Structure 1
Amino acid sequence: MTDINERHREKMKKIKAARDKIMATKTEEKGLIMVHTGNGKGKSSSGFGMVMRCIGHGMPCAVVQFIKGNWITGEARFLKERFAEECRFVISGEGFTWETQDRERDIAAARAGWEQAKVIIRDPKYQFVLLDEINIALRYDYLDIDEVVGFLLAEKPYMTHVCLTGRNAKPELLEAADLVTEMTLVKHPFSDGVKAQRGVEF
């Protein structure tokens, strides 16, 4: 057993030395443009996880939620009721597009949300801004992709993090982003007739 532990210790020492060498070259700090996309579950969940992380670090943050509308989610209730001072929460959508069935109204809601998002992002007070489901609004051309990307690249304060979630992120956004994560669908209970579960999906 001692030999196994010693071999393990020597292996870990080499890994640590290599890791320390890599880490010594990573010195820049900047606000990131992050995209969570893909057909798998977890895009918004991950974004809200970062909101919780920011609150834990005392970093003021904000959420602008597109599309979902008045759908009561656990994260909206949690942040509005318990962390209203730490996290501003804006709901701009009126529901999923197949529910509203009114393109003009959907566009107006998305535009209103984007205008609020720009004001929030410009404010250096907010160190992290989650644009939840904005990729859906971009996918249906409720918002202009060139305008959104141009604003993020030109007007976002240097140290502000912005995370954009939703399926089918456009190539222009992927190109502009610093970090892109694609959630891959492997298996989902919905295909077996199981409806969205409270605490898991909303």
Structure 2
Amino acid sequence: MVKMRRHGSELEAAIYTAALELLKEDGFSALSFGKIATRANTSKSVIYRRWNTPFELIISAVQAQIISENNGRLDQLTLNGKTLEADLSQLFKRLNISLSSFGALSVGNLIGEVSQQQSEILRKMINDATKTDKNSIDKVILRAQHRGELGPGDLPETLQLLPFEWLRYHVFIGGGIDQQKINDLINLVLIPSYKNELPPK
């Protein structure tokens, strides 16, 4: 097969698509740059110039897919709720979609077979996600403070990250979560905790 000359984002998209397809079909342990290059109709040298390992490539592909399918990072979401509950619901609905696009099977394949070097890559991805999580919830809290639903101040990190860690656990380990459980998290756990920590004046 004649390899197509593609560059930039078009080539990158083809490589990402090939890598994710192979991950779903064969699992992480069977991934190789050779297989990815063949599926993407490009050369191994092109892939080697951009990524050091298949694991690093898969992490990049997953992150790019989530951003593409959701029109940007989570902390770039334009909130339009009229209440704290509505903003939280919008934020976590979007997060749930993002996590589902990652796929519980893919996560199991990745986490179950990482080496020490790959763990560093995964740790960086988690650290980046933590920063995004904090920025996202801070936007929600600031809007609630402006509306008078919450008092001034900052949430402790535990409360900032609690809903994100809870959702990731249920999606990655439990295989998914429905809207009713998200509503219960918001109304029975988060809003009472936020109001206790930042009582309205």
Q: Return the TM-score normalized by structure 2.
A: 0.26
The two structures have a TM-score, normalised by structure 1, of: 0.26
Name the structure, 1 or 2, with higher relative contact order (CA <8 Å, separation 6+): 1
| Structure holding more helix per residue | 2
Which structure's residues are more often strand, by fraction?
Answer: 1
